């Protein structure tokens, strides 16, 4: 694989393991509304398309009818609870060291996530990832969100004159793959994440842990 000039990372399920914190916040909201808790394994499958989609999936699996007004109100309350619950996730082991190695090798790094901008940057800052990034484009900070390529193209603007063919997307969701490929950006699948892309797209290169990334990119190591 040719060494890229820049890497675009997804956030939840790629750089950070946010599923436990998301699950706690969602089930706290569900408890407040006197609804039965949702299993964590189901919640992992809701992650990737932003809070509104998360709530829509949770309501569907709880037997509730679609209701755009209620869904938006519950998404807002979910975000409030999520912000109260600490950083909102834990860093995958080795992610700091990998980002440091990538930057030392001359690559620019950014995050493209469907998570809202404020929540994403808060998580990145609290976990110590922000200093390695040129920026982050959350789901509410782009014209359209993943899987639309506009989200990836907006993130490319953060880099120093990097063409799509010179960038690489690392993500765990089908929305990451679809957005990147439509934008002309190559993809590496984070098979350890939530999206199950390695099964759906076995043709794509993949990593089993974040620490596999430098070797796949053939970066020089001391």
Per-residue model confidence (pLDDT) at position 1: 60
Per-residue model confidence (pLDDT) at position 10: 97
Weakly modelled stretches of the chain, pLDDT under 70: 1-2, 220-222
Nearest Cα to Cα of residue 185 among 198, 209, 204, 212: 204
Degrees to nearest 5, angle at CA 209 with 206 and 211: 105
Domain with CATH 1.10.150 in the chain: 19-84
CATH number among 3.90.1150.10, 3.40.50.1000, 3.20.20.140, 3.40.50.150, domain 6-17+89-216:
3.40.50.1000
Domain with CATH 3.40.50.1000 in the chain: 6-17+89-216
| pLDDT, tens digit, 9 for 90 and up, residues 78-99 | 999 998 887 888 999 999 999 9
Per-residue model confidence (pLDDT) at position 220: 53
SS3 state at 18: coil
What's the 3-state SS for 34-93? CCCCCCHHHHHHHCCCCHHHHHHHHHHHCCCCCCHHHHHHHHHHHHHHHHHCCCCCEECC
Q: For domain 19-84, give the fold.
A: DNA polymerase; domain 1 (1.10.150)
- Catalytic center residues: 10
Q: How distant, in Å, are the alpha carbons of 29, 51, 54, 60 from that of 38?
A: 11, 16, 12, 11
| pLDDT, tens digit, 9 for 90 and up, residues 189-210 | 999 999 888 888 999 999 999 9
Sign of the four-CA dihedral 215, 219, 220, 222? negative
Q: For residue 172, what are its two tokens?
A: 């765990």
């Amino acid at each position: 694989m040719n060494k890229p000039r820049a890497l675009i990372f997804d956030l939840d399920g790629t750089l950070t393991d946010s599923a436990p914190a998301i699950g706690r916040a969602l089930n706290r909201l569900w408890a407040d509304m006197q609804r039965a808790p949702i299993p964590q394994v189901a919640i992992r499958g809701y992650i990737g398309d932003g809070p509104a989609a998360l709530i829509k999936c949770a309501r569907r699996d709880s037997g509730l009818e679609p209701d755009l007004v209620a869904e938006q109100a519950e998404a807002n309350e979910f975000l409030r609870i999520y912000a109260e619950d600490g950083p909102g996730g834990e860093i995958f082991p080795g992610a700091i060291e990998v980002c440091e190695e990538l930057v030392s090798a001359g690559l620019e790094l950014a995050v493209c996530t469907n998570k809202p901008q404020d929540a994403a940057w808060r998580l990145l800052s609290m976990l110590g990832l922000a200093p390695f990034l040129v920026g982050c484009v959350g789901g509410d900070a782009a014209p359209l969100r993943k899987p639309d390529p506009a989200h990836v193209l907006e993130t490319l603007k953060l880099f120093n004159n990097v063409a799509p063919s010179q960038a690489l997307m690392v993500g765990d969701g089908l929305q990451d793959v679809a957005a990147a490929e439509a934008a002309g950006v190559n993809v590496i699948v984070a098979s350890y994440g939530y999206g199950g892309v390695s099964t759906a797209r076995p043709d794509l290169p993949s990593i089993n842990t974040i620490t596999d990334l430098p070797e796949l990119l053939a970066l020089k190591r001391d």
